[in-house]
């Protein structure tokens, strides 16, 4: 059986129970999952990348799963750069780039999209409210993008939803104290 690796880059602003669930589920499918925090050039981030990467690292360490690795050194705002870095460091037969269904239609506009298509397959995680529409599926087929749609079920939560409703129950338990102590995400407004 050939080994496979998942690359799960995320803006994680902050990491939520959704990120935790994705990581746990990926570890059941892949020989190894590499995760890191990046700055998405299409988003304005609430907290600095150093804070967000600390939070994701804490979450991953708390999972205590040897198949899930945190490696911030592969981070880049450009997926193509993160993929190149992963390929240099890790030697696996297959490389799947994990992406939410809310972002799949954007990949056609990514820097060096043609090179990314040569290097990876996409694993699309369905997010509630973001179906993969038929015109997107047609474009994926037209461009001969290698992809599969995951059956992973994730909680209906996102980082932006957390920032707007400030409910601690949407954060992994291992992150709550750090968020509170450092008054991140306007934590004074958070609901217990």
Residue 91: pLDDT band by 50, 70, 90 thresholds?
Answer: confident
12: alpha, beta or left? (left if phi > 0; alpha if psi -120 to 50): left
71: alpha, beta or left? (left if phi > 0; alpha if psi -120 to 50): beta
Residue 187 pLDDT: 52
Residue 188 pLDDT: 44
Per the CB < 8 A criterion, the answer to whether 164 and 139 are in contact is no
Other C-beta atoms closer than 10 Å to the C-beta of 185 total: 20
| pLDDT tens-digit series, residues 119-159 | 999 999 999 889 999 999 999 999 999 999 999 999 988 89
Q: In this structure, which CATH number among 3.80.10.10, 3.90.226.10, 3.40.50.620, 3.30.1330.200 belongs to the domain 4-155? A: 3.40.50.620
pLDDT, mean of residues 63-85: 97
Domain segments of the chain: what residues? 4-155
| pLDDT tens-digit series, residues 24-39 | 999 999 999 999 999 9
Per the CB < 8 A criterion, the answer to whether 165 and 25 are in contact is no
- Nearest Cα to Cα of residue 116 among 138, 74, 84, 141: 84
166: alpha, beta or left? (left if phi > 0; alpha if psi -120 to 50): left
DSSP H or E segment with residue 33 = strand 32-37
SS3 content of the chain, % helix, strand, coil (to 5): 45, 20, 35
Residue 192: pLDDT band by 50, 70, 90 thresholds?
Answer: very low
pLDDT, mean of residues 81-97: 90
Q: Decide if pLDDT at 169 tops 60.
A: yes
How far is Cα 55 from Cα 72, in angstroms, rounded to an integer? 12
Predicted TM-score (pTM) of this structure:
0.92
Q: Decide if pLDDT at 115 tops 50.
A: yes
Token output for 144: 């001969």
The residue whose two tokens read 């999972």 is 63
């Amino acid at each position: 059986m050939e080994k496979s690796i998942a690359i799960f880059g995320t803006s994680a602003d902050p990491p939520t129970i959704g990120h935790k669930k994705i990581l746990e589920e990926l570890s059941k499918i892949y020989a190894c999952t590499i995760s890191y925090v990046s700055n998405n050039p299409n988003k304005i981030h609430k907290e600095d990348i150093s804070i967000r990467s600390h939070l994701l690292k804490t979450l991953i360490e708390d999972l205590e799963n040897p198949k899930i690795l945190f490696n911030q050194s592969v981070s880049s705002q450009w997926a193509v750069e993160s993929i190149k870095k992963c390929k240099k460091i890790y030697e696996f037969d297959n490389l799947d780039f994990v992406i939410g269904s809310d972002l799949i239609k954007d990949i056609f506009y990514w820097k060096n999209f043609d090179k990314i298509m040569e290097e990876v397959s996409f694993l699309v995680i369905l997010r509630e409210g973001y179906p993969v529409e038929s015109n997107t599926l047609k474009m994926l087929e037209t461009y001969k993008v290698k992809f599969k749609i995951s059956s992973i079920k994730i909680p209906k939560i996102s980082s932006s939803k957390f920032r707007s409703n400030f409910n601690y129950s949407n954060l992994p338990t291992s992150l709550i104290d750090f968020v509170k102590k450092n008054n991140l995400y306007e934590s004074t407004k958070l609901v217990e």
